[in-house]
Amino acid sequence: MLIKNKERYTGREITSEKDYMRRRDFLKLSAWTLTAPALAPVRLFASDEDKNKYTALNAVRNKAMSIGEKPNSWTEITTYNNFYEFGTDKSAPSRNSRAFKPRPWSVAIDGLCDKPGHYQLEDLIPAKKLEERVYSLRCVEAWSMVIPWIGVPLKNILLKAQPRSTARFVEFTSVYRPSEMPGQRAHILDWPYMEGLRLDEALHPLTFLAVGVYGRVLPNQNGAPLRLVVPWKYGFKSIKSIVRIRFTDTMPVSTWQRLAPGEYGFYANVNPEVDHPRWSQRRERRIGTFFKRETQLFNGYADEVGALYKNLDLEKWY
């Protein structure tokens, strides 16, 4: 993700105290992440063998729900990340997330539902029920990757809580743990990271809750121990390290929308026809390849999800 620094961080405009502190923290964080590689040169030595350090998971590939392309390498998937809780550059999450403890973990499911509760991760997503799905993740910055996720359809989890007929949206909250997440010690974003989906989007069979990647449990930098994957939306909707899922009748405001509402909307559907105000969304670069490719409407899932947006002006509701 790109932070719109022209207005927010130049200091040329009159700056509120909150914005001033945020800017100072952003600059501090940038300086710190720039010096980090010298201190912790993990990325230089990252290899696909690193995968063997993570617990293996059993899952059968759901071929009907997978794209036929070859996945990116383990190293690409785990060292080129956006996870601002661990820093703002792409290599920061893999370097700075080693102190994060994703277990034990519980998730609160509450709001407009008949069976709210606090669930231990293992009870919520039993290891026996996992499946693998290969999706491409299209980032709003116009790059993409092919990732073999392991997890369960989000729908299975949501229906356990019995959402009420008044529930229209689902709001997700990431963990807030500044002692283990150095990025949260700066005010770059309004912590904790928040996201939302319309209930029918959340219940769509493509919407996935991942606990693993490449046959292993999720590494911290990829959103351990559980994160959302919504393959027809820009990557920032795929919120990581979720601690709360809330049913609501009001459209949630996501973290990026709050920071820059003119740039990041609630829907964030992949759409080559609707440019980001500062760059085109027509094409994308698959990490690891040289030539750009055409971006597909809804990231190639127009047949599956088009009906959800039949009466929606996609220019207005970007």
Angle at 194 between CA 23 and CA 121, to 5 degrees: 130
The burial class, CB within 10 Å (0-12 / 13-18 / 19+), for 137 is buried
13-52: contacts with ligand MTE (CB under 6 A): none
Which CB, 82 or 269, lies closer to ligand MTE?
A: 82
Does residue 85 sit in helix, strand or coil? helix
Which CB, 190 or 200, lies closer to ligand MTE?
A: 190
The burial class, CB within 10 Å (0-12 / 13-18 / 19+), for 289 is exposed
Nearest-approach distance from CB 84 to ligand MTE, in angstroms = 4
Indicate whether 236 belongs to the interface with ligand MTE (CB under 6 A). yes
Which CB, 112 or 141, lies closer to ligand MTE?
A: 141
Indicate whether 96 belongs to the interface with ligand MTE (CB under 6 A). no
127-146: contacts with ligand MTE (CB under 6 A): 137, 139
* Six-digit token string for 105: 């973990």
Residue 152 to residue 163: CA distance in whole angstroms: 18
Indicate whether 247 belongs to the interface with ligand MTE (CB under 6 A). no
Indicate whether 238 belongs to the interface with ligand MTE (CB under 6 A). yes
Nearest-approach distance from CB 232 to ligand MTE, in angstroms = 14
Among 16-24, 81-89, 122-130, 309-317, which window interacts with ligand MTE (CB under 6 A)? 81-89
- Alpha-carbon separation of residue 310 from 139, 199, 246, 303 (angstroms): 24, 16, 26, 12
Q: What does DSSP assign to residue 60?
A: E
Taking residue 152's Cβ as centre, other Cβ atoms within 10 Å add up to 19
Q: Which of 304, 314, 306, 283 is nearest to 139 (CA)?
A: 283
Among 5-13, 83-91, 263-271, 304-312, which window interacts with ligand MTE (CB under 6 A)? 83-91
Nearest-approach distance from CB 141 to ligand MTE, in angstroms = 7
Nearest-approach distance from CB 55 to ligand MTE, in angstroms = 18
Which CB, 100 or 193, lies closer to ligand MTE?
A: 193
Residues pairing with 134 in the sheet: 148
Indicate whether 85 belongs to the interface with ligand MTE (CB under 6 A). yes
* Six-digit token string for 133: 């799905």
Q: What does DSSP assign to residue 24?
A: H
Q: Binding residues for ligand MTE, how many (CB under 6 A)?
A: 18
CA atoms within 13 A on the CB side of 37: 11
Which CB, 112 or 125, lies closer to ligand MTE?
A: 125
Q: Which residue from 1, 152, 197, 230 is in contact with ligand MTE, where contact means CB under 6 A?
A: 1
Does residue 191 sit in helix, strand or coil? coil
Q: Which residues bind ligand MTE (CB under 6 A)?
A: 1, 81-85, 137, 139, 174, 193, 222-223, 235-236, 238-241
